[in-house]
Amino acid sequence: MSEITELQKRTLSEFLGTNLVVSGINSLRNSYNNLGYEVKPVCFANISITSILNIPSISKDYDAYFTSWENWEKMLDTIWGVIKNFPWERERADCDDRARVVSGLCSLIYRINTCGQMYCEFTNILTGEKGRHYANIIMDNNQNLYLFDVDNGGLKMKLEKNKPTTMGNWSYRFISMELA
């Protein structure tokens, strides 16, 4: 009986890993088959973001797909269940990478593109530490905006116009946003 070579092991791992990921995405997608959504021109979303957060917003898409906050909560809980298993790692899996993954999973799995990546300054309200950060902004079908931050424990909150944003131990000052 011959031994399995490293190349054969890697090929088998890639085959199994790819098929498990595809099966997982299809399974999640099928569990949300009846997800209700509305389609509007993406400029509608950009105008709402700019008026509520007073920051520039860009999108590469023509149409924006909106769903209810109730649907978003379920979808984000599922995504948090995945992301929390891949811890933050400087420059390799840090805030900008993780925010892009969240937006990408929303588009790939749920076919909803109103989860954008937001760039901001943050302050830790306990230590005073400041830094630059990426998180996600979600827009629901009523044009409400929500902050979702996988690097702040997967917390989420509704955003209010002209009100400071503090979630968990972090205070946020929004700078710009890009829709998925």
Q: pLDDT tens for residues 29-73?
A: 888 777 777 778 777 677 778 888 888 888 888 888 899 999 999
Whether pLDDT at 86 is above 80? yes
- pLDDT value of residue 34: 73
- pLDDT value of residue 46: 73
**What are the structural domain ranges in the chain?**
1-31, 35-178
Q: Which long-range contacts (CB under 8 A, 24 or more apart) does 11-16 make?
A: none
Among 158, 30, 150, 157, smallest CA distance to 102 is for 150
Among 172, 56, 40, smallest CA distance to 113 is for 40
- pLDDT value of residue 173: 95
Q: pLDDT tens for residues 123-177?
A: 999 999 999 999 999 999 998 999 999 999 999 999 998 888 999 999 999 999 9
Instruction: Tell the CATH topology of 35-178.
Output: Beta Polymerase; domain 2 (3.30.460)
- pLDDT value of residue 50: 80
- pLDDT value of residue 90: 85
Output the pTM of the full model. Answer: 0.86
Residue 145 burial class via C-beta count within 10 angstroms: exposed 0-12, middle 13-18, buried 19 and up: buried
- pLDDT value of residue 44: 67
Q: Which long-range contacts (CB under 8 A, 24 or more apart) does 49-52 make?
A: 49/116, 49/137, 49/139, 49/145, 49/177, 49/179, 51/161, 52/145, 52/159, 52/161
